[in-house]
């Protein structure tokens, strides 16, 4: 089964396909842009994105939205992670946190699927810590500063580990299970 995945980010597609392989699903990148609505909930962003692309192409499609929620920053940058990454990057986040002891953070991923029947959203999350400095060359975005709970390395240092336990892995597991069951 092939599923269209509207995203400009090929890393997201390959992470989805690691999960899809176990379900006989191939996620195929569709470079169809969509507006990211301003909402603190990544589910709403994914939901509206999927609806927007579906309305344009009139074919079933998924959109995925991720946020990094940092506890000491009251959940910032959350659903505004793309904007903040563009403005501040990982160095800016590390600077904002400074020497703060509470390094707890959580990645939340929401996969929105839209077809003629409407939209459904599937979520996955992973808790962890913000590292004291950037580490690793793999992955993308905030991967060099995120160490998942129970691990010693950042996602960027061990992309294989990321593929197995990430927020995106969990959201795609849930979506993949559902889509093959209907």
Token pair, residue 41, equals: 């909930």
36 or 54: CB nearest ligand IMP: 36
49 or 54: CB nearest ligand IMP: 49
76 or 85: CB nearest ligand IMP: 85
**What is the spatial distance between Cα 93 and Cα 11, in angstroms, rounded to a whole number?**
22
Whole-number minimum distance, CB 108 to ligand IMP, in Å?
A: 10
Whole-number minimum distance, CB 66 to ligand IMP, in Å?
A: 4
Whole-number minimum distance, CB 70 to ligand IMP, in Å?
A: 12
- Which residues contact ligand IMP (rule: CB under 6 A)? 9, 65-66, 81-82, 85, 139-143, 155, 166, 168
Residue nearest to ligand IMP (CB): 141
Whether 132 is catalytic is: no
């Amino acid at each position: 089964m092939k599923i269209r995945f509207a995203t400009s980010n090929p890393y997201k597609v390959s992470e989805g396909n690691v999960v899809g392989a176990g379900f006989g699903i191939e996620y195929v990148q569709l470079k169809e842009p969509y507006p990211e609505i301003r909402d603190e909930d990544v589910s709403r962003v994914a939901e509206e994105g999927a609806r927007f692309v579906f309305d344009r192409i009139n074919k079933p499609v998924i959109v995925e939205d991720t946020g990094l929620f940092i506890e000491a920053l009251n959940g910032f940058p959350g659903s505004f992670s793309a904007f903040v990454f563009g403005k501040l990057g990982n160095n800016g986040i590390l600077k904002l946190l400074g020497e703060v002891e509470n390094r707890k953070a959580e990645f939340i991923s929401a996969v929105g699927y839209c077809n003629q029947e409407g939209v459904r959203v599937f979520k996955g999350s992973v808790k962890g810590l913000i590292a004291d400095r950037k580490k690793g060359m793999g992955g993308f975005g905030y991967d060099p500063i995120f160490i998942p709970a129970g691990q010693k390395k950042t996602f960027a240092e061990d992309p294989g580990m990321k593929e197995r336990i990430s927020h995106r892995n969990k959201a795609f597991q849930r979506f993949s299970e559902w889509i093959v069951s209907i």
